[in-house]
A and B are shown apart, each in its own frame.
Chain A
Amino acid sequence: EVQLLESGGDLVQPGGSLRLSCAASGFTFSDFAMSWVRQAPGKGLEWVSAVGGTSGYTFYTDSVKGRFTISRDNSKNMLFLQMNSLRVEDTAVYYCAKMQGAIYESYYMDVWGKGTTVTVSS
């Protein structure tokens, strides 16, 4: 069974840092790009960042560029999101998602984890 399990969410003060992890199982992890998608309380979905399977290419939404870093360890089937200089507006449930598609322009998220909650507050 294909599974994604996020961890690392916590309460952190503005300006602080946090590292999210996502453990993948049930598929050949290195064959697929992976994404982080977040959902602020009572709000819609927002794509945050993505990383290619083996290419090393990374992508970020403008609001997190320079603050967040996505990475992966294909030997351990793990996806990470290092979040620095956190802001109140980063408060959200963060989902790890497996991407599917022939080319980047057609990618969609076919498998999602249950999410991990990040709260940025003083």
Chain B
Amino acid sequence: QSVLTQPPSVSGAPGQRVTISCTGSSSNIGAGSDVHWYQQLPGTAPKVVIFDNNNRPSGVPDRFSGSKSGTSASLAITGLQAEDEADYYCQSYDSSLSGWVFGGGTKLTVL
């Protein structure tokens, strides 16, 4: 059971908008720790798509955006494309555990 909770799966048709939630607690997201998001395509290493809650690394399309409020965060993907089909993970720091934590991951299916 992960410290950060994500839905196991989400889906959307090409062109649509999807959001993936990440729920934490007062010892991680609620304590002010930043939230970061990773995309993992099948058989490959994870790649950061959002860092520090709402920042995109260079090369990541502006269709990807992040937000954070209270003890939760969200990743939004607009204009869904087939290439977005992947597993997505949120990550933060937990002060009670004195370490970094990941969400359980969400599988995005593009219908």
Contacts and interface: CB of A to CB of B under 8 A. Distances in A.
Interface of A: 35, 37, 44-47, 50, 59-62, 95, 100-101, 104-110, 112-115
B89 A61 contact: no
Contacts of A50: 99-100
B52 A106 contact: yes
A116 B62 CA distance: 32
Main secondary structure of the interface of A (DSSP, over half): strand
Contact of A105 (B33, B47, B102): B33
Contacts of B98: 59
A44 B102 CA distance: 8
Q: List the 4 shortest-distance A-B pairs measured between CB atoms, nearest first.
A: A108-B36, A44-B105, A112-B45, A106-B34
A18 B60 CA distance: 36
A39 to B, nearest CB: 9
Nearest to A99: B100
Contacts of A108: 34, 36, 48, 51-52, 91
Contacts of A112: 45-47
B104 interface: yes
Given A44-B89, A59-B98, A109 B32 contact: no
A100 B29 CA distance: 18
B38 interface: yes
Nearest to A47: B100
B103 interface: yes
Given A108-B36, A112-B45, A113-B45, 9 more contacts: A37-B102, A44-B87, A44-B102, A47-B101, A61-B97, A101-B52, A109-B46, A109-B91, A112-B46
